[in-house]
Chains A and B, each alone.
Chain A
């Protein structure tokens, strides 16, 4: 029996590409958050400009995966790994799109005077960042327990998204003078609400990644199910 050295190397390469993509995506989210908080246009623009590299990686991962499926006819864990890799890269790409979206809101907001700081927004950035970190870590460590636990943070993310929304609705309704200023204030608030939605999506997609990791490691499809390891 041959030991499939070539194939094993290809899988290793696929894993490295995925880790690379995860690192880039994590950095995009981090930078988008930083740019948002600091009103840093340069950094926001860098996130937008860097997105194509993440898109390219997704395409490459898809191509390699397809090739391995067709030529190597993988079984068992190898098969699950390749399918999982395709799903994870797809979710990473969507996470990076959310980062781009936050960066675009940032560019808009930088054209106007700042809103009062919204502490819930910072909380939201923290929890969704943690969710993404945990997703990546669970993949590296092949740890289904950790992967599944990301779900539990989702309620917190939802909570802070709600608080951001409430805060800004109150802001729009209560302390807005008439005329030009009201329009600007409404726009700033709506853009911030959109940014918070994007972060919430980052959390959701990180939860998905955790489910893919659990699938790769255990073979169980844990989507839409309550399973503990």
Chain B
């Protein structure tokens, strides 16, 4: 199954000051696929993820070289509207970070930022996003309650709903389940399977099992380099490189 390509990075280097954090990364990310980024701590997974929606721009002293295309267009081109890019490429972080507002307002936040004022459209879009994030049933009676009153797993799905509300194409997830218990993790993983029908998902995870369970493609990073990328099934049953084998079988260091 050949998916249309969503992202394509070519010879991407990334620097924090003088420190090269990404070294010559080239990868194609298919549309409506789940791509898992794995690799030891500090190998550059989060850095790469943040390059995809230019979140790194917010960190002073950083520098990008090389190309990243989204739907065939250079996202680092001068004319690119970064706010719009971040709307198209949403992000969910490791720790659920709801705003200290109501559940409704959390999800409506991005819509309001985008200038939507109509009460009915707001309500519709909030409801739709909560459905997509598989949270609606649990919160439909308490939309005006505080988001901080939700469990960790619910908060994380709320953050996913918040990201989905602005109708992105791509969802970047940086260890979205690492702070959650197994049941909440299971819900997030089920959700990922559901969401990939409509979204392209790139997920960073430290759990090999999670990468194996949720992703179609797995990319193994090591010391800023992309070592191997391939079908998840192949990477986890017969990786082509010894380094990948050593990492996924836990024979590292």
Contact = CB atoms under 8 A, between A and B. Distances in A.
Contact of A76 (B40, B239, B252): B239
A35 B252 CA distance: 51
B251 interface: yes
Contacts of A73: 208-209
Interface in B144-186: none
Contact of A219 (B208, B237, B251): B237
A227 to B, nearest CB: 14
Contacts, number: 44
Interface size class of A (residues with CB under 8 A): 10 to 19
Interface string A1-30: 111100110000000000000000000000
B252 A3 contact: yes
A220 B251 CA distance: 22
B253 interface: yes
Nearest to A218: B238
A218 B239 CA distance: 10
Nearest to A220: B238
A79 interface: yes
Interface residues of B, number: 17
Contacts of B251: 3-4, 8
A74 B249 contact: yes
B236 interface: yes
A75 interface: yes
**Residue of A77, A78, A219, A220 contacting most chain B CB atoms (<10 Å):** A77
Given A4-B251, A73-B209, A75-B237, 10 more contacts: A1-B252, A3-B253, A4-B249, A4-B250, A76-B244, A76-B248, A79-B236, A80-B238, A218-B238, A219-B237
22 contacts: A1-B247, A1-B252, A1-B253, A3-B250, A3-B253, A4-B251, A7-B250, A73-B209, A75-B208, A75-B248, A76-B238, A76-B239, A76-B248, A76-B249, A77-B245, A77-B249, A79-B236, A79-B237, A80-B238, A218-B238, A219-B237, A220-B238
Interface of B: 40, 208-209, 212, 236-239, 244-245, 247-253
